[in-house]
A and B are shown apart, each in its own frame.
Chain A
Amino acid sequence: MQVLELSSQRLEGAVVVAAVGDLDIVTSPQLDSCLTEARRDAASVILDLSAVDFMDTSSLAVIVGHWKKLTARGGTLALAGARYRYTKTLWITGLADRLPMFETVPEAVAACATPAEPGPGQPPGQSSE
């Protein structure tokens, strides 16, 4: 069994990237290239984390990097279905409060389809003293 399997599909205006398995330093490059491709296809990218069993800080760096690039051109990167126990790094590091997070993919798609209503996340500040 693969440590990480990724698939993507278009849903309304967004590209949904579904991750199954573990996001760690070894699999982060796979996630990175998948998100790079998704950004070429849409301004709104949704990362479905509902089947992610592990998430370390190297994958956070990848996610934040793509989120910044998308928000810089008026798009967004939203996370859907993250399970607290297995993706706790999002909460420990405070990213859960900064990135747009949704319970389910349909909720994320609905939110991304109405760009008049921005998600809860703001681009990260350059310093946190």
Chain B
Amino acid sequence: MGAEPAADDLFRHEAAFYRDAAGYRSAVLPFVREGLDQAESVLVAVPAPAAKLIREGLDGQRAAAHGVGYADMTELGRNPGRVISAIWDFAGRYPGRPVRFVSELAWPGRSDAEIGEVAVHEAMLNLAFSAGPVRLLCPYDAGLLAPGVIADAGLTHPFLRTASGVTASAKFGPAPAGPTLSLTLPPPPAGADRLTYTTDLRAVRSFVAVRAEQAGLSPDRTADLVLAVGEVAANTVRHASARGTLLVWRTGTEIICQVSDLGQIRDPLVGRRRPPETGGLGLWVVHQVCDLVELRSGPGGTVVRMHMLLDGGPAMGGRP
């Protein structure tokens, strides 16, 4: 046939389009069982109801013996930009073993910006793990998600999985530079608060702190947002030859800070992989503390849009 993946593919990235629980089980359970049969490290990161389906469908004892890990994707993947780093961490706990990962990020009800970042993340997975050994299955709810979301998943996944097997996605197109470098963002609102800066980063940070506080963001999450904006503005000082611009605005549910400058980021995976030492950590930290990060960069400059939900999600990172 030629359309099916070879059994020894080092990297496999599949989407499964399901419409009900039976469809979910018939796609996901065989994928997980394959991993258990081959003694791979299996991590299931999906919303809690789907995790329950998978747990119930597996032989509990066997799954436990091989150490299937579970993560609540609504927490781990609130910002999809954190997930690649989390997969590396998971792989690092079982050196030398292939990783098999069930990743459901596009749950119904996510905002357009979040769904857009899910698509970016899916494309970035193809760059991040092309050397393997990593096998990924991404379930999508074809009944509830918009047709465009399903179509995008066909573009970003080399393979599609159904109850009857795995086939190549006819629409898959490798995105060599990645969408990070080409997609545009919707324009900020005309009434957004604006500050331009060169090296006065303290002014940048207090501009954000005052507005986050006014918006009712908790002190810990305000500190997170100030840190994130501070890191991106520091990149302006480090890399850009001219001044940067900060915009801050609120939606009904979020406070959003956008930093733009004339610097250009050439690594599309920047911030999604944790650098091994303390250099170049800034954008990785930004991804860890924000609820959503949209980064776009090209010859015209770089835009980083950082979102924080106002309804009091927990601050990231454990208190000591």
Contacts and interface: CB of A to CB of B under 8 A. Distances in A.
Interface of A: 3, 22, 24-26, 54, 56-58, 60-61, 64, 84-86, 88-89, 91-93, 95-96, 124, 127-129
A124 B223 CA distance: 27
A89 B205 contact: no
A60 to B, nearest CB: 5
Given A24-B201, A24-B230, A58-B234, A64 B278 contact: yes
Contact of B276 (A56, A60, A127): A127
A93 B320 contact: no
Contact of A26 (B95, B199, B220): B199
Chain B residues touching A, majority SS: helix
Contacts of B278: 57, 60-61, 64, 93, 95
Interface string B237-277: 11000000000000000000000000000000000001011
B320 A91 contact: yes
Contacts of A26: 199, 201, 237
Given A3-B202, A58-B234, A92-B316, 8 more contacts: A56-B234, A57-B278, A61-B279, A84-B319, A88-B289, A91-B318, A93-B285, A96-B320
A59 to B, nearest CB: 10
B88 to A, nearest CB: 8
Given A60-B281, A61-B278, A129-B92, A85 B205 contact: no
A22 B206 CA distance: 12
Nearest to B91: A129
A56 to B, nearest CB: 5
B114 interface: no
B307 to A, nearest CB: 18
Nearest to B88: A129
Contacts of B277: 64, 124
A57 B140 CA distance: 37
Nearest to A28: B234
Given A26-B237, A93-B285, A129 B95 contact: yes
A85 B289 CA distance: 12
Contacts of A86: 223
A22 B231 CA distance: 13
Contacts of B234: 24-25, 56-58
B44 interface: no
A93 to B, nearest CB: 6
